[in-house]
Amino acid sequence: MENSRSLTPDEVAAILNITKQTVYDMIKRQELPAYRIGRKLRIDPRDVDLYRSQGKNFELPSSRPRIPEISTALPSAAGIAVGLATDKLVVCGQDIILDLLARQLEKKLQPLRVFRYQVGSFDGLSALYHGQADMAAIHLWDGDSGQYNVPYVRHLLPGVPVVIVHLAQRMQGFYVRQGNPKQIKGWNDLKRTDITIVNREKGSGTRVLLDERLRLLGVDRSLLPGYYREEYSHLAVASAVARGEADLALGNEKGAMQVRGIEFIPLQRERYELVIAKAEGEEFRWQAVLGILQSDSFKSELLGLGDYDVSETGKIIAEL
């Protein structure tokens, strides 16, 4: 057999006259060695020749070690370098929903380990595009269409097959000090010159929502006092407002519940959704995610946390 290039699972299936799923099963049972180039599974032609000649008694010769997985590493929240592999899953996002999901996935898919990477929506999609993550939770609003997430996924993940699954709806709004001394009521107050804000970091869904609202209002963001001061969580911006360092910040309702001295002005219900890369041979992973998200026990746990609408949790929004 020609050894100048690696083979895809489809090509191996044709050579062995079996289905592609059988090839994946052989790889999982370690009957046929495989490796990854990015998200693609590849098989050495010499291993296929050996398998054909030896069948299930196939063993990789000790003189030729397994070809290691080829993948870009992504640091986990603990600072550990983590590459994509069958026993690891990298999930990007900052909401506690993802911690609950990670715990149940590890329980369901042992010995799987889930690594949480605390980044905003844009950075999560970038990690997916570069093959550095398996899933990313996002809440990106498009002001022109009024739609969440799908427009951004279409443009930022060209050529990457994904499924978008709904996690929950959350309420976004303004954090103001107790008593609302500046009498702030809604988006139009962003036009005022007597209000100072504290902002979220670039790439976060909350920052995108603010920027889109400012664009639609025709407000020059560079003239908005406090626009360039950035914090990296809802709690951080809420705390800044509570301390009197800003009059207003944008965040979700849960953040307001956790910081004393804050009132919450609800403005927009957002869609928080999970983008899952459909890696070859690993459909069982996102099917496991669906099973967990659609379960009554998971939805009950979310409802107990507050500020989550779970009426569509587990619904497939799009496959792209």
Q: Is the pLDDT of residue 61 over 50?
A: no
Phi–psi pair at 290, nearest 5 degrees: -60, -45
Reduce the DSSP state of residue 259 to 3 states and report it: coil
**% pLDDT > 90, the chain:** 65
**Minimum mean pLDDT among 9-18, 20-29, 137-146, 307-316: which range?**
20-29
By C-alpha distance, which of 155, 126, 153 is closest to 139?
153
Determine the pLDDT at residue 129: 93
Beta-carbon count within 10 A of 194 CB:
8
- How much is the pLDDT for 234? 94
Is the residue at 3 inside a domain? no
The answer to whether residue 240 sits within a structural domain is: yes
Q: Is 10 helix (H, G, I), strand (E, B) or coil?
A: helix
Mean pLDDT to the nearest integer, 45-59 = 72
197/202 Cα distance (integer angstroms): 15
Rounded CA-CA distance 277/285 in Å is 10
What pLDDT was estimated at residue 9? 84
For residues 88 and 159, membership in a common domain is answered with yes
Answer yes or no: do 98 and 125 share one domain: yes
pLDDT of the residue at 53 = 76
Average pLDDT over residues 2-25: 78
Whether 99 and 134 map to the same domain: the answer is: yes
Q: What is the pLDDT of residues 62-86, one digit of tens each?
A: 444 343 333 334 433 333 233 344 5
Within-domain flag for 183: yes
Between residues 62 and 21, the one the model is more confident about: 21
| Residue at token pair 């506690």 | 96
Domain presence at residue 62: no
- On the question of pLDDT at 21 being above 90, the answer is no
Shared domain check, 134 and 92: yes
Q: Say if 298 falls within a structural domain.
A: yes
pLDDT of residue 55: 61
Residue 302 in any domain: the answer is yes
Q: Which domain holds residue 282?
A: 76-166+271-319
> Residue 17 — very low, low, confident or very high, per pLDDT cuts 50/70/90?
confident
* Amino acid, single-letter form, for residue 59: E
For residues 197 and 276, membership in a common domain is answered with no
Same domain membership, residue 50 and residue 33: yes
Rounded distance between C-alpha atoms, residue 256 and residue 207, angstroms: 17
pLDDT, tens only, 74-129: 433 333 233 344 578 999 999 999 999 999 999 998 888 999 999 999 999 999 99
Q: What is the pLDDT of residues 173-232, one digit of tens each?
A: 999 999 999 999 999 999 999 999 999 999 999 999 999 999 999 999 999 999 999 999
Residues 126-167 have pLDDT tens digits of: 999 998 899 999 999 999 999 999 999 999 999 999 999 999
What is the per-residue pLDDT across 292-311, written as a single tens digit (0 to 9) for each?
999 999 999 999 988 899 99
Taking 50 as the threshold, does the pLDDT of residue 2 lie above it? no
92 and 119 fall within a common domain: yes
Does residue 37 carry a pLDDT above 90?
A: no
Residue 33 has pLDDT above 80, yes or no: yes
Mean model confidence pLDDT for the chain: 86
Q: Domain end: 254, 269, 284, which one?
A: 269
Residue 112 lies in a domain: yes
Residue 216 within a domain: yes
Look-up: residue for tokens 């979220």?
Answer: 200
Do residues 53 and 17 share a domain? yes
Pair (82, 198) in one structural domain: no
Domain count, the chain: 3
Q: What is the CATH number of the domain that holds 184?
A: 3.40.190.10
Same domain, 237 and 278: no
- 195 shares its domain with 244: yes
Output 249 or 282, whichever has higher pLDDT: 249
Please give the model's pTM, rounded to 2 decimal places: 0.77
Asked if 187 and 225 sit in the same domain, the reply is yes
Measure the CA–CA gap between 249 and 247, rounded to whole angstroms.
7
